[in-house]
Amino acid sequence: MNLKNKLAQNKFAVTAEIGPPKGVNVAASLAEVEGFKAFVDAVNVTDLQSSAMKAGSLVLSHLLIDAGVEPILQVTCRDRNRLALQSDLLSAYILGIRNVLALTGDHPAAGDHPEAKPVFDLDAITLLKTIQTLTKGTDLAGKKLEGKPDFFAGAVVNPGAEPVEAEILKMEKKIAAGAAFFQTQAVFDPKIFEAFMKKVRHFNVPILAGVVILKSAKMANYMNKNVSGVTVPASSIQQLQNSKDVKATSAEIASGIIKNIKGFCQGVHIMPLGSGDSVVPILKESDLI
């Protein structure tokens, strides 16, 4: 059962993600997926995450299909104008990719090529509208397509954003533009997430809660300082600082979050950040497999 059908049947879904390599050796990325692919419904492929130059999400998504994995192609607006974005979307469909996650993207100043010129011809909302336009059989110039794609389009939302009302307004605009599911920014406070879900339940759109696998207390502190709308509790940071097995402690924190939030959403999106071997133990501890 593919992701679209599973969510349509109101079944709990699990997605994870991987990043392409900074180079041409994809072996490690594919090996990471191999360890958990039997236990997830789909896998995101990040698109130059944090504005760091890497191989493209399109090619790795295609390789996932070859490996028997359903990909979710992340597409950011930072680096391409509307011509290139439409072309890449059509290319993705030709290669068998059906799920797309629309993102505006981080500014290049935050990445490893800060001198790069940002594009931002479109943003996440107008990219979703573009996907809708293509599925109706024309491009943004109104020209007819020779065969039209049929994407399952998603977007992102941040439950911890302040003010949350502005985030909910953006979410509403994304739904109107064609978003059929959402994956959230990392969730660390179940109470904040529950309150957010109560405020958006009238949208009746599947929401998969984001769960980051923390690698260290240093990483947790960095997220608190630099990631908007994300707050790692002091208790979790203390756990990591006092731990003799940080990997096990991180998995314990992640599974604890999932246990506390899975009753409020239609799925979870696990972001391993290279710790793919922790995905299966976390899912087992969370009673999801």
pLDDT digits (tens, 9 = 90+) for 148-197: 999 999 999 999 999 999 999 999 999 999 999 999 999 999 999 999 99
Where in 130-191 does DSSP place strands (E)? Answer: 152-157, 181-186
Distance CA 243, CA 289 (A): 26
Is the bond preceding residue 163 a cis peptide, omega within 30 degrees? Answer: yes
How much is the pLDDT for 29? 94
Q: What separation in angstroms does the CA of 227 have from each of 5, 210, 231, 285?
A: 33, 14, 8, 27
Per-residue pLDDT averaged across 195-217, rounded?
96
Nearest Cα to 38, choosing from 284, 275, 253?
Answer: 284
Per-residue pLDDT averaged across 184-213, rounded?
96
Query: Could you write out the three-class secondary structure of 63-101?
Result: HHHHCCCCEEEEEECCCCCHHHHHHHHHHHHHCCCCEEE
Distance CA 253, CA 248 (A): 9
pLDDT of 147 over the 90 cut: yes
Where in 37-180 does DSSP place strands (E)? Answer: 42-45, 71-76, 99-103, 152-157
pLDDT of 257 over the 90 cut: yes
Q: What separation in angstroms does the CA of 192 have from each of 96, 109, 186, 197, 240?
A: 37, 30, 12, 9, 22
How much is the pLDDT for 250? 94
Per-residue pLDDT averaged across 78-107, rounded?
97
How much is the pLDDT for 164? 96
Determine the Cα angle at 127 with ends 125 and 132, to 5°: 100
* pLDDT band with cut points at 50, 70 and 90 for residue 133: very high
pLDDT of 227 over the 90 cut: no
The β-bridge relationship of strands 152-157 and 181-186 is: parallel
Nearest Cα to 282, choosing from 261, 265, 263, 257?
Answer: 257
How much is the pLDDT for 228? 84
* pLDDT band with cut points at 50, 70 and 90 for residue 73: very high
Question: What is the share, in percent, of the chain residues with pLDDT greater than 70?
Answer: 100
Q: At what angle do helices 190-200 and 164-176 cross, to 10 degrees?
A: 50
Q: How far apart are the first and last CA of the chain?
A: 16
How much is the pLDDT for 186? 95
Contacts of residues 81-84 at CB distance under 8 Å and 24 or more positions apart, as own/partner, are: 81/119, 81/121, 81/122, 82/121, 82/122, 82/130, 82/140
Per-residue pLDDT averaged across 15-22, rounded?
96
- Residue-range domains of the chain with CATH: 3-285 (3.20.20.220)
Q: Is 75 exposed, middle or buried (0-12, 13-18, 19+ CB in 10 A)?
A: buried
Secondary structure percentages of the chain, helix, strand, coil, to 5? 45, 15, 40
Average pLDDT, the chain: 96
How much is the pLDDT for 229? 84
How much is the pLDDT for 146? 98
Q: Is 194 exposed, middle or buried (0-12, 13-18, 19+ CB in 10 A)?
A: middle
Per-residue pLDDT averaged across 257-273, rounded?
96
What's this model's pTM, rounded to 2 decimal places?
0.95
Please name the residues in contact with 24: beta carbons below 8 A apart, sequence gap of 6 or more.
55
How much is the pLDDT for 274? 84
Per-residue pLDDT averaged across 205-216, rounded?
96
Length of the chain: 289
